[in-house]
Amino acid sequence: MTDYYEVLGVPRDATPEQIKKAYRKLARENHPDVAGEDPGAEERFKAVSRAYEVLGNADKRRQYDLGSDPSSPSGGMGGDGMGGFGFQDIFETFFGAASGAGAQRGPVPRARRGQDALVRLDLDLADVTFGTHREIPVDTAVTCPTCSGTCCRPGTSPRTCEVCHGRGMVQRVARSFLGQVMTNQPCAACRGFGTTIPEPCPECSGEGRVRSRRTLGVDVPAGVDTGTRIKLTGQGEVGPAGGPAGDVYLEVRERRHELFARDGDDLHVTMSVPMTAAALGTVLTLETLDGPQEVDLRPGTQPEQVVTLKGLGVGHLHVGGRGDLHVHVDVAVPTALDDEQTELLRRLATLRGEERPEARLAASHQGVFGKLRDKLAGR
């Protein structure tokens, strides 16, 4: 008994899809119209067809696996008259989608949607904090002003294709082992459009669009961050033949600020204060994105202590409100003292009993702003 699995080159546990794929490949390779002068091609083609007649049919394959060959001595024509495989299999094998049920019918539209565009938008911290309006120049495709997207010289119009008569498809006769088969193919004369452009527009060369620079106005909301994309619907390239425009995506990149560091919608800044001001307490003025703001330092303010100014951070995207501004205190210890200043500090140390202070260990910790710096630095 012939080993049909070996003929198709598939394992005995092959799936129906694997069997069909193997058959299509071997049938195409060994078909007389393809193999040419190869004398053994016809016999191999018959053997492949016999194998698929059996293995391509679930009932016949089950009988074959039980030890009997359900094919007839002549090569076996199944109940459908094609040995277990139908016309659709043959058409797809030799002619592809052009002759199958999924073949494209009718002319294709000349007008198509234009491409999307991605534009980088560099913003300062103040822009993302409060929102801003920007005018952005872009080089893109716009509808041809001469032909208004018709692709034709003014005063002319598209002409019905004389080859396909407006169908966009033409029929071709192909030879196969079944005889002559009619197939549908896109018309080469009109490229499947069904019409031709006898006199193309001289400005756009029959494209229906030209390159131009234009300016897009965009309102950037508060709270955007690096990587945020803003979509401008229908502001991209106009499609060929006046087709609908694509979209423009603005990708935000926030410039680094020299003083303020951003963490989400909160801002952080370090303010250096004299040792005496930290010890005695004071009110200092800090220049923020909202203008001058008073920072109240309580007596005994410690290094890395944080004073939070509510609502002075970055605006919350889409939901309103703002984050906070966190002021990290950096106590500046004097390094160059004159004799009088040195004496005053010694007297203060004497009054506080700190002439010879004992070292006291404290738990190692990192201030909030130090952690933020490390986070931004990628450490």
Q: Which residues are annotated as a binding site?
A: 144, 147, 161, 164, 187, 190, 201, 204
Q: In terms of DSSP bridges, do strands 195-196 and 159-160 run parallel, antiparallel, or are they unpaired?
A: antiparallel
Sheet of 306-309, strand order: 261-263, 266-274, 325-332, 306-309
Q: 194 and 164 in contact (C-beta within 8 Å)?
A: yes
Q: 92 and 25 in contact (C-beta within 8 Å)?
A: no
Q: Which residues pair with 315 in a beta bridge?
A: 322
Distances in Å between the Cα of 4 and the Cα atoms of 56, 57, 58, 355 are 11, 13, 14, 102
The H-assigned helical ranges of the chain are 4-8, 16-30, 32-35, 41-55, 58-65, 87-95, 125-130, 275-280, 339-351, 368-377
What span, in angstroms and rounded, lies between the C-alpha atoms of 323 and 264?
8
Q: At 228, is the secondary structure helix, strand, or coil?
A: coil
Question: Which residues does the annotation place in the binding site for Zn(2+)?
Answer: 144, 147, 161, 164, 187, 190, 201, 204
